[in-house]
Structure 1
Amino acid sequence: MARNQSRRLKPAILQADEKSFAALQVIKSYAPVNQSCAVEAIRATRRDVTRLRELEAEAVAAATTAREKAVAKEWEFHNLMLCAKQQVIAQFGADSDELQLLGRKKRSEYKPPGPKAQ
Structure 2
Amino acid sequence: MSTVNFSRRVSTKTVSADIDSFHGLGTISDYIPVRNEATPEALKAAYEAMVAKQRQETELIAKTKAAADAARQAEVEFHDAVMAMKESVRGQFGPNSDEVQAIGYKKKSEYKRSHRRSA
Structure 1: how far apart are the matches of 2:73 and 2:88? 22
Spell out, residue by residue over 1:16-58, the C-alpha distance to the aligned partner (whole angstroms, 9 max, x if none). Answer: 1112112222222222222121111011110111111111111
Spell out, residue by residue over 1:78-116, the C-alpha distance to the aligned partner (whole angstroms, 9 max, x if none). Answer: 000000000101111101111111111111111111215
- Aligned residue pairs, count: 118
- Which structure exhibits the higher relative contact order, with contacts defined as CA atoms closer than 8 Å and separated by 6 or more residues? 2
Please list every run of 5 or more consecutive structure 2 residues that lacks an aligned counterpart in the other structure.
Answer: none
The correspondence of residues 1-118 of structure 1 with structure 2, limited to 5 A, is: 1-3=1-3, 5-6=5-6, 7-115=8-116
Please list every run of 5 or more consecutive structure 1 residues that lacks an aligned counterpart in the other structure.
Answer: none
User: Partner amino acid for 1:5?
Assistant: N
Structure 2: how far apart are the matches of 1:36 and 1:82? 62
The 1:38–1:117 alpha-carbon spacing in structure 2 relative to 1, beyond 3 Å, is farther
Identity value in percent:
34
Alignment RMSD: 1.6
